[in-house]
Amino acid sequence: MELPNITDLSEVESAIYRYIIQNDEKIALMRVRDLAEGSHTSPTSVMRFIKKMGFDSFPEFKLHYKQKQTAVHEHSPSIDSYFDLLNRKNFKNNLEAQVDYFAEAIIRSSPVIFLGLGASGSIASYASRKIANLGYNSFALSDRSYPISSRLDPKRESLLIFLSVSGNTVEMVDIATQFAGNPLVKIGVITSDPTSRLGEKADYLLDYIGNNERAHIYYDLSSQIPSVFLLELIINSVRQKNQL
């Protein structure tokens, strides 16, 4: 089960959520009343929160939490595993062709907008800056309420490049849905899941096999190494095509 977007939580629910992630080692041993007292809320509020997370009962929630914790502790990546992230087998056989398609799309588009949230948002800013350094109209966005249409050229093809490890980031999917089918707005996606909701909307897709790491169960610590690697390939291809 996935935790709802934190921005959708009420003040009471946020208090319960914070207490859970700050005391994750104890949750499996707690009762509903213990969690309520620790978060300074009520048992009723705790159960309302548990059901909002998608669980039918508190025991079901505790079992899920315990299993998640066991999985996290059993999987401790070694240094070698990080080298393995860039193993050729983790990318499609036609990687060179896919990178070339992306580079060509960037060259003929204006603007080129990189989009992502969290760590992906930081990578989006990095990529857009490098593309801008090559002389292209490029910038990054992480705010789904931003009026993107106001920055698009109605007479020229625009390119939106979404960075999302899961490919199912709700905010990014919402934006992609707005422009899907628009002949002057192309969608590029870099993700670990080509069958994701973003992947299904992509005109240009680069996918990879990567890890899925989390802290406190719900904090995403997935490596961005494959994503950055693919972006560097794209940027280098654009540079070579322009002989810069």
pLDDT tens digit sequence for 63-98: 887 777 665 555 555 666 666 766 777 788 889 999
Q: Looking at 75, 108, 134, which one is the last position of a domain?
A: 75
pLDDT over threshold 90, residue 101: yes
Residue with tokens 């654009």: 238
38 three-state secondary structure: helix
Q: Evaluate whether residue 28 is within a structural domain.
A: yes
Domain count, the chain: 2
Q: What is the mean pLDDT of residues 151-163?
A: 94
Q: Evaluate whether residue 2 is within a structural domain.
A: no
98 three-state secondary structure: helix
The range of the structural domain enclosing residue 35 comes to: 8-75
Provide the 8-state DSSP code for 149.
G
Tell me the CATH number at 86.
3.40.50.10490
30 & 129 share domain: no
Residue with tokens 């003929």: 108
pTM to 2 decimal places: 0.66
pLDDT over threshold 90, residue 152: yes
Tell me the CATH number at 56.
1.10.10.10
Residue with tokens 């934006």: 175
Q: Is there a contact between 132 and 139 (Cβ–Cβ < 8 Å)? A: yes
Q: Evaluate whether residue 190 is within a structural domain.
A: yes
